[in-house]
Amino acid sequence: MRSARQRLHTICGHVKWSKEHGRVNLVQTRSKVLSTDNINPFVKNMEYAVRGPIVIRAAEIEQELKAGKSKPFSDVIRANIGDCHATGQKPLTFLRQVVAICTDPDRLMDDPKYPADAKSRAKRILSGCGGQSIGAYSDSSGVRVIREDIAAYITNRDGHPCNPDNIFLCTGASDGIKTIMKLCMTGEGGNKRAGVMIPIPQYPLYTATIAEYNACPINYYLNEDNNWSLDIPELKRSIQEARSHCVPRVLCVINPGNPTGQVLSRENIENVIQFAKEENLILMADEVYQHNVYAKGSAFHSFKKVLTEMGPEYQDIELASFMSTSKGYMGECGFRGGYCEAINLDPDVKVQLLKSISAKLCSSVSGQAAMDVVVNPPTSSEPSYPLFLKEKEQVLGDLKEKAKMVTETFNSMDRMSCNVVQGAMYAFPQINMPPAALEEAKKRGVPADVMYCFELLEKTGICVVPGSGFGQRPGTYHFRTTILPPVEKLKEMLERFRTFHEQFLSTYK
């Protein structure tokens, strides 16, 4: 038979017993509404490797070093995430000047230290803001004059007209990607769930969002033997296998590639567009690294430009493409500025998209201002141009040098191979794991690439992300590293890496 306390617990929840003045008092305490047993299961299914357990351990090691704990290294090198300024890249002067003036126009608009072209950009941005203040809400799609500047940028980039009404500003490209993907969900479960085709390896935003929305990932493997290209037979294989358990609706492409650093050829893009038309898929083109192209013979081609030039029979394909302030030569991750251009949507669907955006009121207006400077930089006739060009070329020149350095270094190591880093900010080398290392990882109950990356962190302070966090072909082992540390720091990192790798192979020979 249950005690009085047990019966009261059933009725009231948690009960505290206390004594006061010789009397027993019952004090009811409220149990938590949410627990890990009852929260949204799709949130629990989300994973985000670039901020996962290895990164948490890296932060712990940093604290240990600050506390004076002895390590075989003096600092942690964070090569796990594409955070340019965190690794030492300096902000662009012109961009920060414009945003600063927008933030404090009463003091800075007449300040002689700020150039006239920065002031004119700020005046234009503020003219589109309520009360001429970036502290006001903007239209849900973003400040109109900024969308017009983005449309002009796209028109100039592609040589084809762009309608500012097809553009909406977002909190980084990630927010725009999630907004479009949400629109593509079926609202049903089981084999009626929306299927989203994603490259493997992929950026973890995609798998995390698919899990959150209870959609079905349709994995297609990039061809590592052909510099991570998209093979049409592989796309066809993946969609055919998926049709029995979902409704394929979306094809996601990342170009230039993250984590793989490839730049797609125009021919490859044309074939992908043709595949999307044949299979009746919405195209989502993640093009946030469009300024980051380094390898000889490589060039960025936007999906919008290629689709437009493929002829009238392709002009009904729904395409959403994304850009950001966070990458390129700007590296302004913290502003969370981005845009999406969505073309060929059904007019009634576009109404629903705008309604969905309006529920969030608007993206950060300071981020919108930063995005405006990205698409409307100084021209050759303006006073800020020489410094702007110098800073831009310095960043991109350093990245080109570092891309080559990383590729050559990893390819010089035994049992390691790395495709040429053609663009973006990452390398994704493959490790030919020794059998003894595979056996040890099996004993520890972790993937071999996870074991490798944890040992690398503990022994060298280098923080990279295991390939299993991005997806990889079964039986292969990779890691992703950024190429962002300054040139001298990157040289030091690669030397630490080489020493560790040789010791790792010796241990598990």
Q: Is residue 13 part of a domain?
A: yes
Co-location of 360 and 220 in the same domain: yes
Burial classification of residue 209, based on how many CB atoms lie within 10 Å of its CB (0-12 exposed, 13-18 middle, 19 or more buried)? buried
Domain match, 158 and 289 both: yes
Task: Give the pairing of strands 194-200 and 216-221.
Answer: parallel
**Domain assignment present for 115:** no
190 Cβ contact list (under 8 Å, min separation 6)? none
Contact 320, 285 (CB under 8 A): yes
Judge if 215 and 297 occupy the same domain: yes
The last residue of one of the domains, among 375, 398, 430, is: 375
Task: Say how far apart CA 448 and CA 271 lie, in whole Å.
Answer: 35
Q: Are residues 330 and 417 in the same domain?
A: no
305-350 residue pLDDT tens: 999 999 999 999 999 999 999 999 999 999 999 999 999 998 988 9
CA separation for the pair 466, 456 (Å, rounded): 11
* Rounded Cα distance, 473 and 281, in Å: 24
Query: Which of 268, 260, 357 lies closest to 306, judged by CA?
Result: 268
Tens of pLDDT, residue by residue over 351-388, are: 888 888 888 888 889 999 999 999 999 999 999 999 99
Q: Retrieve residue 412's tokens.
A: 């010089």
pLDDT tens for each residue of 147-200: 999 999 999 999 999 999 999 999 989 999 999 999 888 888 889 999 999 999
Q: CA-to-CA distance for 48 and 66, rounded, in angstroms?
A: 27
Cα–Cα dist 90/6, whole Å:
63
CATH of the domain at 446: 3.90.1150.10
Give the pLDDT of residue 12. Answer: 44
Instruction: Compute the CA torsion angle 160, 163, 164, 165 (nearest 10 deg).
Output: -160
277 lies in which domain range?
A: 150-375
Do residue 216 and residue 160 come from a single domain? yes
Of the chain, the percentage scoring pLDDT greater than 90 comes to 71
Report yes or no on 128 lying in a domain.
Answer: no
Domain count, the chain: 3
CB 60 within 8 A of CB 458: no
Q: What is the pTM of this model?
A: 0.87
- Which of 375, 405, 431 finishes a domain? 375
Regarding whether 78 and 213 lie in a shared domain, the answer is no
Residue 397's Cβ-side half-sphere holds a number of Cα atoms within 13 Å equal to 6
Q: Where are the alpha helices (H) located in 244-297, listed in sequence order?
A: 266-279
Q: pLDDT band for position 250 (50/70/90)?
A: very high
Answer yes or no: do 174 and 248 share one domain: yes
The model's confidence at residue 81, banded by pLDDT at 50, 70 and 90, is confident
Asked, for residue 394, whether it belongs to a domain, the answer is: yes
Angle between helix axes 116-127 and 365-375 (nearest 10 degrees) is: 130
The residue from 348, 375, 402 where one domain ends is: 375
123 belongs to a structural domain: no
Same domain, 363 and 413: no
* Banded model confidence at residue 234, pLDDT cuts 50, 70, 90: very high
The answer to whether residue 76 sits within a structural domain is yes
Assess contact for 192 and 243: CB atoms under 8 A. no
Residue 362 structure tokens: 């608007």
Does the bond joining 259 to the residue before it have cis omega, within 30 degrees of 0? yes
User: Considering the domain boundaries, does residue 118 fall inside one?
Assistant: no
Residues 169 and 192 in one domain: yes
Q: Which residues contact 212 (CB under 8 A, 6 or more apart)?
A: 42, 43, 45, 46
Contact 194, 171 (CB under 8 A): no
- Domain assignment present for residue 101? The answer is no
Label residue 10 by pLDDT band (50, 70, 90): very low
- Which residue in 167, 144, 155, 147 sits closest to 353, CA to CA? 167
- Please provide the DSSP assignment of 24-93 as one string: EEEEEEPPPS--TTTS-HHHHT---GGGSHHHHHHHHHHHHHHTT---SSSS-EE-SS--TGGGTPPPPH
Which of 349, 399, 425 minimizes the C-alpha distance to 180? 349
The CATH number of the domain holding residue 322 is 3.40.640.10
Q: What is the pLDDT of residue 217?
A: 93
Cα-based angle 488, 297, 471 (whole degrees, multiple of 5): 70
- 175 shares its domain with 242: yes
Give the model confidence (pLDDT) of 36-62 as tens digits.
Answer: 676 666 665 655 555 678 888 898 989
Q: Based on the domain organization, do 193 and 316 belong to the same domain? A: yes
H/E segment holding residue 247: strand 247-254
Alpha-carbon distances of 127 from 8, 102, 105, 169, 171, rounded to whole Å: 64, 10, 12, 17, 21
Same domain, 201 and 340: yes
